[in-house]
Amino acid sequence: MTSRSPLPHLPLSRLTVALLAAGYLLAPWRLSDFWLSVLIYGGIAAIGAVGLNLLTGYTGQVSLGHAAFLGAGAYTAGYVGVDLGWPLPAWLVAAALAGGALGALVGPAALRLRGHYLGIITLGLVLLAQHIFQEWNALTGGATGRPTTLDASIAGVDFNELTVLGQPFTREQSWFWLVWALTGLAALAVANIVRTRPGRAMQAVRDREVAAEMLGVSVTRYKIGAFVVASALAAVAGALQAGFQQYVSPSEWSLLLSIQFLAMIIVGGLGSTTGAVLGALFVGALPHLIDELSAGVPWLAGEQDSLISVFALNQIVFGLLIVLFLTLEPHGLAALWVRLRTHIARTPRWHALTRRRTG
């Protein structure tokens, strides 16, 4: 019985883990470089999304400032990886530390301000950060941006030119392995926090702050802690994005990016780490899906006489998704998935099918 199980399990069955592992290993052989890069961006976004989900979904703190931390991570990585020329572990860790430190600086705002107020303050953070990114020429290259051709080698393995047993891999193939390994680690770390003492404390703060304090939960520690973890992960995501793109400019770290991250955790389902990953993939892949689908539609093709630009269509679909998910399916893809699964399990035909197979 589950009630007897002494330890909390991750919400993934062994079968799922095996399938994921197989997908991880095999995908680079089966997919084109284009779709691999879509997945790489999805994986990078997922790292930021699981962090934001810890802050917003589990600790209940609104943040429109996520983009600022991504940017901070990207420029830290640029400085450490290009200007100093240090290898991958160094710029990743430096980005995480810088992001965490900034989070610790901003986090205390959450102690004094709630809900809408915190939302607007963090909105201000994005605008302030973007201004700094534009003006700090020495670090960021100003408004036009800077190259971030980071050294992507760790222990002698270079992910920019990966060669295993004499076989060379494309940059997309190698980065897929690199990014998704890190995504897996990030998701696992957050899932671990959530199922142990600190995660429970964060959820207690989210649900009832006073009651949490009465149990000895330090609201200060967990609110700021959640900010630190979330911004450290955002900075790692920013660093990876910089590394993969090899060039970053300030306009990337915009309010829209923050909103996209919030959309990921909403679409995925607030307070679900799996959901955050799914949401990141979905939101990341959406523009490309729209691109593919709209290629066949004449008035969408992006030509002069088209009714609507692909970019505008993207944004509108994206905005509608946020609105529709929130008003119609607040628990997101994660809930849809669970419902689909129970529905399938209850369908007699499927039942019979599985029984025949096992029997």
Partner 1 sequence: MEQLLQLLVAGLALGARYALVTLGFVVIFRATGVINFAQGSLVLLGAYLTYQFAGPWQWPFLLAAITSVIACGACGPVIERLLLRRMVGRPAFAVIMVTLGLLIVIEQAVPTMWGQDPKNMGDPWGIDTVQAGAVTVAVRDLWTLGLTALAIAGVFGFFRYSRYGLAMRATALDQEAAQAQGISVRRVVALSWTIAGAAAALAGITVASGEAGVSPSISQIALAAFPAAILGGLDSPYGAIAGGLVIGVSQTLTAGYQPDHAAWLGDNFHVIMPYVVMIAILLVRPYGLFGTREVERA
Partner 2 sequence: MTTDKAASTDTAASTDKTLTPDKAVTTDKTVTTDNAASKDKTVTGDKTQTGDKPGRLDVSALTLRFGGVTALNEVSFTVEPGELMAVIGPNGAGKTSLLNCLTGVYRPQTGSVRLGAVELAGRRGRAARAGVARTFQNHGLFTGLTVLDNLLLGRHRLTRTGIVSGALWWGRARGEERAEREHVAGIAEMFELADVLHEKVTALPYGVAKRVEFARAIAMEPKLLLLDEPVAGMGFEETVAMAGHLLDVRERFSCSVVLIDHDMRLVMDLADRVTVLDFGVVIAAGTPEQVRTDPKVIEAYLGEEE
Q: Applying CB under 8 A, which residues contact partner 1?
A: 56, 60, 62, 64, 112-117, 119-121, 123-124, 127-128, 131-132, 134-135, 256, 259, 262-263, 266, 270, 307-309, 312, 315-316, 318-323, 326-327, 330
Question: Min. distance of Cβ 315 from partner 1 in angstroms?
Answer: 4
Q: Which is nearer to partner 2, 221 or 341 (CB)?
A: 221
Q: Which residues contact 36 (CB under 8 A, 6 or more apart)?
A: 27, 28, 170, 172, 173, 175, 176
Long-range contacts of 335-340 (CB under 8 A, 24+ apart): 335/269, 337/278
Q: Which does 230 bind (CB under 5 to 8 A by kind): partner 1, partner 2, none?
A: none
CA distances from residue 54 to 77, 231, 313, 318 in whole angstroms, order as listed:
23, 10, 30, 23
Q: How far is the CB of 56 from partner 2 (least distance, A)?
A: 13
Closest CB to partner 2 among 131 and 221? 221
Count, residues near partner 2 per rule CB under 8 A: 33
Examine residue 291 and tell whether it contacts partner 2 (CB under 8 A).
Answer: no
Instruction: Work out whether 215 is an interface residue with partner 2 (CB under 8 A).
Output: yes
Applying CB under 8 A, among 121, 125, 201, 280 the residue interacting with partner 2 is 201
List binders of partner 2 among 224-243 (CB under 8 A). Answer: 225, 229
Please name the residues in contact with 289: beta carbons below 8 A apart, sequence gap of 6 or more.
none
Spatial neighbors of 76 by CB under 8 A, at least 6 apart, are: 91, 94, 95, 98, 99, 235, 239
For residue 154, the partner it binds in partner 2, partner 1, none, with Cβ less than 5 to 8 A by kind, is: none
Question: Judged by CB under 8 A, does residue 340 bind partner 2?
Answer: no
Secondary structure class of 119 (helix, strand, coil): helix
Q: Which of 101, 121, 100, 98 is nearest to 109 (CA)?
A: 121
Q: Which does 6 bind (CB under 5 to 8 A by kind): partner 2, partner 1, none?
A: partner 2
Instruction: Write the DSSP assignment of 318-355 as a string of letters.
Output: HHHHHHHHHHH-TTHHHHHHHHHHHHHHH-HHHHHHHH
Q: Report the alpha-carbon distance of residue 274 to residue 237 in Å, rounded.
A: 17
User: In this structure, are strands 157-158 and 163-164 parallel, antiparallel, or unpaired?
Assistant: unpaired
| Binder of residue 115, out of partner 1, partner 2, none (CB less than 5 to 8 A by kind) | partner 1
Instruction: Tell which positions 179-198 bind partner 2, by CB under 8 A.
Output: 189-190, 192-193, 196-198
Q: Which residue, 66 or 206, is less far from partner 2 as judged by CB?
A: 206
Q: Which stretch in 140-148, 154-162, 208-216, 287-295 sits in contact with partner 2 by CB under 8 A?
A: 208-216
d(CA 240, CA 262): 19
Q: Does 2 bind partner 2 (CB under 8 A)?
A: yes
Of these partners, partner 1, partner 2, none, which one is at the site of residue 117 (CB under 5 to 8 Å by kind)? partner 1
- CB–CB of 338/332 below 8 Å? no
Q: Interface with partner 2 by CB under 8 A: which residues? A: 2-3, 6-8, 189-190, 192-193, 196-201, 203-204, 206-208, 210-219, 225, 229, 271
